[in-house]
Amino acid sequence: MKPFHYVIVVSDHNLAELRACRYWHKQQALLSVWLVISKRMKEHAGPRLRSQLENLAPQLNLIELSDDSFKGETLSKDITPWIQNKLLPKLRALGDVPCVLNFTGGTKNLVEDMICAHAWSSLHYQPYVDGQSTLEVLEYREGQYQLTETLDLSEEKISPLEFARLYFSSVEEGPLPESIWLQPNQYLFYDQRLMQEAEEGTAWFRLVQCLEHMFGIKKQNAWYWPQGVPEPDIEALISELMGCLPELDRPLTWDKQGVHWHPEHPFAKSWQKWISSQWFEHWVAEYLQHRLQLNEGMLSRNIKSTSEAARSAADREGAYLKSLRLKSDGSISGKREGDILLAYRQSFLAIECKADVFQGKVAQWEEQISSWAKDRGKMKLMIATTPLARRNMGKDSFSSLVHRCLSVGVVVWVVGENNDSALSYALGNLPST
């Protein structure tokens, strides 16, 4: 295809156009990109899209077509006069150089009038089809525009950071909470234990309960083998647990008498956070990486490494971005951040991970969900929780919570129980397993 000038209409939803510009830039096809910006889009959406295009290609020639009288809504009052007096003179000045209109965004009145007003080299349209990223090319033949080609743009990946910067007025990176770096065997270890933790009487259930009790004591303390649980089973579990974190000295030791907790240890807080809740964030991130067959950089996790080597490797590979704190236009409720931000096809999903919620905190959690959903911007929202949390809340309380979440557009995912149904509800069709 010959290089062309690309005209796109700025709207509240320009993810498709950003993806198209990335594709054509790689094909070295863009002479310039013209941004048609109405008065309403001038304050937020226009500058955000321009910024992302500048990041995409600093040398790209960007031309803004906008003025305060152009609202892009009424044909007779502002659309037709703007096209005749502002747009067409610039297009005619190009002569025979190809000019293409992407009419994915904008109001129906605006794009229809733009299509009819000029003999475009071709038209581009990107339909919103769940699970797909395509671009339809239409050319003028036999007195009308006809579909001549459909391009697959699914390889043009948009990262969580790009999603956020396109849709939110404020995107801040960090500071990050300290966490223990994810070792390869952690995912398998907790994948095997996930369902066991909700089963009273199992060695794993008893061990986690006792560890949580020990964490609540501020001085060095010991826990003795519980009656009825074979000592070898406990020792095997602790040995596996230790093996998940090989890079750190361990604030947890054990001998024939039992398990000893050392709260003064420099890594004690990291261990406590990891065993209490952050293991679940790791598990969810790793599960999504495998189940959705994600490319590197499609997950942003509110986690950083205590290992310089691991952190530099992640920075190099783009696997784990910094945490993102987001604020939408006109928000007065502060910034939002999820434990995991996921960029998947045409969706931007924020996931809050709750390893456990006890009865006394259900109301507090519901209030947090309502506040979170109110200021979502263009994100989809999900709560990921465990069978243990569901059991601790009780059937009625959990059912009430699910209905409350759905009423504000928040999907509840109980891992191990409704994996595919929850993810497909939020993201559309999933890859085949």
Question: How far are the Cα atoms of 19, 50, 131 from residue 64, in angstroms, in the given order?
Answer: 19, 9, 31
Name the band, by pLDDT with cuts 50, 70 and 90, for residue 313.
very low
pLDDT at 308 exceeding the cut of 50: no
Measured in whole angstroms, the distance separating CA 378 from the mean position of its chain's CA atoms is 11
Best CATH choice for the domain 4-156 from the list 3.90.79.10, 3.30.1360.120, 3.40.50.10770, 3.20.20.70: 3.40.50.10770
Question: What percentage of the chain carries pLDDT values higher than 70?
Answer: 69
> Which phi and psi angles does 6 have, rounded to 5°?
-115, 120
What pLDDT is stored for residue 231 in this prediction?
65
Q: What is the CATH number of domain 165-178+284-427?
A: 3.40.50
- The angle formed by the CA atoms of residues 278, 281 and 285, to the nearest 5 degrees, is 145
CA distance 236 to 334: 46
By CB atoms closer than 10 A (0-12, 13-18, 19+), residue 295 is middle
Name the band, by pLDDT with cuts 50, 70 and 90, for residue 88.
very high
Give the global pTM.
0.71
Other CB atoms within a 10 A radius of the CB of residue 311 amount to 14
Q: Domain segments of the chain: what residues?
A: 4-156, 165-178+284-427, 184-270
Measured in whole angstroms, the distance separating CA 276 from the mean position of its chain's CA atoms is 24
CA distance 380 to 341: 10
Q: Which two tokens stand for residue 56?
A: 């995409």
8 A C-beta contact, residue 179 and residue 278: yes
8 A C-beta contact, residue 6 and residue 291: no
Output DSSP code: residue 180.
P
Output DSSP code: residue 359.
G
By CB atoms closer than 10 A (0-12, 13-18, 19+), residue 347 is middle
- The angle formed by the CA atoms of residues 35, 36 and 37, to the nearest 5 degrees, is 105
What pLDDT is stored for residue 400 in this prediction?
85
Strands 122-125 and 134-141, bridge-based pairing: antiparallel
8 A C-beta contact, residue 219 and residue 252: no
CA distance 335 to 417: 31
**Better-scored residue on pLDDT, 158 or 198:** 158
What pLDDT is stored for residue 331 in this prediction?
46
- Average pLDDT over the chain, rounded to an integer: 76
Q: Indicate left, alpha or beta for 79 from its phi (over 0: left) and psi (-120 to 50: alpha).
A: alpha
Nearest Cα to Cα of residue 173 among 323, 334, 319, 348: 323
What pLDDT is stored for residue 224 in this prediction?
58
Q: What is the mean pLDDT of residues 93-106?
A: 93
Most confident range (mean pLDDT) of 20-24, 332-336, 405-409 is 20-24
Q: Under DSSP, is residue 95 helix (H, G, I), strand (E, B) or coil? A: coil
Name the band, by pLDDT with cuts 50, 70 and 90, for residue 349.
confident
3-state DSSP percent of the chain in helix, strand and coil, to 5: 40, 20, 40
pLDDT at 110 exceeding the cut of 50: yes
Question: How far are the Cα atoms of 164, 326, 402 from residue 337, in angstroms, in the given order?
Answer: 11, 6, 21
Name the band, by pLDDT with cuts 50, 70 and 90, for residue 178.
very low
* Domains 4-156 and 165-178+284-427 agree in fold: yes
Q: What is the mean pLDDT of residues 110-118?
A: 93
pLDDT at 360 exceeding the cut of 80: no
What pLDDT is stored for residue 123 in this prediction?
97
CA distance 267 to 289: 28
Q: Per residue in 208-221, pLDDT tens? A: 777 777 777 767 66
CA distance 421 to 89: 53
What pLDDT is stored for residue 226 in this prediction?
56
CA distance 163 to 142: 40
Other CB atoms within a 10 A radius of the CB of residue 163 amount to 29
